[in-house]
Amino acid sequence: MKTRTLGRQGLNVSAIGLGCMGMSFGYGAADEQEAIATLQRAIDLGVSFLDTAEVYGPYTNETLLGRAIRGRRDQVVLATKFGFNILPHGQGTERMAGVNSRPEHVHEAVEGSLRRLGVDCIDLLYQHRVDPQVPIEDTVGAMAELVRAGKVRHLGLSEVSAATLRRAHAVHPIAAVQSEYSLWSRDAEREVLPVCRELGIGFVPYSPLGRGFLTGKLTSTDSLAADDFRRTLPRFQDEALRHNLVLVDALTRLATSRGCTPAQLALAWLLAQHEQIVPIPGARRVSHLEENAAAANIELDADARAAITAALPPSSVVGQRYNDAQLTMVNL
């Protein structure tokens, strides 16, 4: 597996990472044994950049990851996130009780993540969502204290505006920004990506396959579990889904002409946008992981990138990427 460097402080990671959320959260029931096998296979393939968060489960995804990497800590780069009040009872998103990035909460959250992961240091710590009640300088100041204490190596932010990113980076170097970015979610290109390039900050696209849509394997919500959160997203509603399938058909034709899958071409397109972009596609099965990892070896010249971009213009996508309530937590 090829590697890339996020930020200017030397955080070296696999060119394609692994988003672990779906192994415990958001997409219906998962097979824990298959998840651990997928994580182990990722490490074998050199997919060393593993992404989780305290709220995935909540908590269970970090515990799962900690079990999977036991004895292999030196082979992985661990990223996790804090930033929510999590209630002690309930299921899944029922336990999320708003954002919380107060400095004292940052310290508490990291202690919990270290314990669940079974490690003494987190390689990359993200603020999961910006807390409008807490100045970003205060939150990043608390995160920087954890760096000085040796409990965290590098800092990141998720779904952050360009202005907030500049303020945060002035307090402590930010190694990476994680936000949704793919061929059908390109908001980051307007302001955030240019600032990342200017300041030498890495960019980590989550949902780089459009929450599975760009794989070409999802043609109806009928196949989704009743509690799959994609059922709440505007782009997956029936009329929007039918329209957006035209875009996937175009991507599939381009992929077939190049001898790869739509997922691989979508990931290769992201990798070709900038040397500090590292997508983290989710995978709950070994076969999907292996398919995604192979995209790191696909080279796209300028003409190929232009053809892909032209086939899936942002203006052609129907539906918001989140519903209105979810969008309130995105720092635009």
Structure tokens at 40: 């182990």
Task: Tell the burial category of 13 from Cβ atoms under 10 Å away from its Cβ (0-12, 13-18, 19+).
Answer: buried
Whole-angstrom CA distances from 85 to 54, 228, 279 are: 10, 22, 27
Q: Is 189 within 8 Å of 180 (Cβ atoms)? A: no
For residue 298, count other CB atoms closer than 10 A to its CB: 18
What angle, rounded to 10 degrees, do the helices at 262-271 and 302-311 form?
120
Question: Which residues carry out catalysis?
Answer: 56
